Amino acid sequence: NPDDKPWDTHKGQSDDVGGIYLRAAEFESYAARMRDCGGLLRFGWSTLKDTGETRLRLREAHFCRVRHCPVCQWRRSLMWQARFYQSLPKIVADYPDSRWMFLTLTVRNCDIADLGDTLTAMNAAFQRMKDRKEFKPVQGWIRTTEVTRGRDGSAHPHFHTLMMVPPGMLNGHDYVKHDRWVELWRECLRVDYSPNVDVRSVKPRKPKDGESLACATTELVRGAVSETLKYSTKPSDMVADSEWFLELTRQTHKRRFVATGGALKDVLKLEQETDQDMMIGYDISEVDDDGSRLAFGWEAMQRKYRRLPERDR
C-alpha cells in the first residue's frame, strides 16, 4: 500500500537515530523510548461524512515524543497542520482581507557547541523585532526553528515565520522592502554583518465558483504552512555525524522550537500532544468508525511494517 511508505521511511529513520542514542549512556532512555515508538499500529475503516469515501485511519498507536524522533516529528507536523487548517475558516471569517507572508530569518553558521547561546540570541532578537514599528501591523504569526548541518560540521539555525498581514504590508503604506527586513533583523540581532533574510508574499486568488474563501486560502497557504511546520532537523542531518547530533540534542534540550502570536496564538494548541492528538494525520474531518482494528507491526530487520492479523481487535 502506498500509504505504508511514509510509515516505513520514518520508523526506519527512527531506528537509525535511536541507534545513535543507544551508544551514548546519557541518552539510553531516549533510545528505549524510540524503540517502542509506533511499534504496533492499529487502523480502523472509516467513512468520510462529506464524500462517503471509505479508508483506513490510524486508531491506536503509542508515540515516544522524544524531540528528535523522526516518527514523532512527522506526526507532530501533520497534527499542527491539521489544527491550522481546522482553525482557518474562523480566521478567514474574522480577517477576510488579510494576506499571507513567509519570512525566513537566518544568522551566520555557528559551532554546534555554541548553538544554545545562538538560539538564545535569536529569540531575544525576534522579541525586539516584534516591538518595531514595521512589525506592528502583523495580525498573527507562527514561528518555528530549524537547525541544519553545514558541510563543515557547523550548525545553521534559522526561523521560518508565517505571518498574516493586512494588504497594506504588501502593496501599501505599511510595505517593508527586503533591504529593510535585512536591516531590521541585523539591528535586532545586534550583529555587524547583514544576515540572509528571505521574504515572500503568498499570491492571492479569488475563490472559484462555489468555493469558500477558507478553501481558497487553504490551497494558497498550503506550501508555506508545510514549510513552516516541518521537521526541526532533517533526519539525514541527524545520522550524518553522530557526535554533531548528540551535541545538538544537548544544546536544544528543553528549548521551545515553536512560537505563535496575535490572531494565530492558539491555533496549534501546543500544550496538547497525547497519542490521540498525534494520530490526527492530515485532517480532523468528521468520520464514522466501524469499530474494527487491523494491526500492523514493525519488522526492524526488514525495515517495514507487516500485517499482524493475530493482533487485530
Which contacts of 170-173 are long-range, i.e. CB under 8 A and separated by 24 or more positions?
Answer: 170/99, 170/101, 170/201
The pLDDT of residue 280: 81
The pLDDT of residue 213: 84
Residues in the chain where the model's pLDDT stays below 70: 1-3, 282-287
Beta strands in the chain (DSSP E): 40-48, 54-60, 99-106, 140-149, 155-165, 197-202, 258-262, 287-289, 294-299, 304-307
The pLDDT of residue 284: 62
Beta strands in 49-84 (DSSP E): 54-60
Which contacts of 29-33 are long-range, i.e. CB under 8 A and separated by 24 or more positions?
Answer: 30/64, 30/66, 30/249, 33/64, 33/65, 33/66, 33/69
The pLDDT of residue 172: 87
The pLDDT of residue 287: 63
**Strand, helix or coil at 244?**
helix
Q: Give the DSSP H or E segment for 127.
A: helix 115-130
Cα 119 to its chain centre, rounded Å, is 18
Question: pLDDT tens digits for 154-196?
Answer: 999 999 999 999 999 998 889 999 999 999 999 999 999 999 9
The pLDDT of residue 70: 98
- Which amino acid is it at 241? D
Beta bridge partners of residue 147, listed in sequence order: 157
Mean pLDDT, all residues of the chain: 93
Question: pLDDT tens digits for 121-135?
Answer: 999 999 999 999 999
- Which amino acid is it at 286? E
Rounded to whole angstroms, the Cα distance separating 204 from 111 reads 40
Cell of 155: 550548525
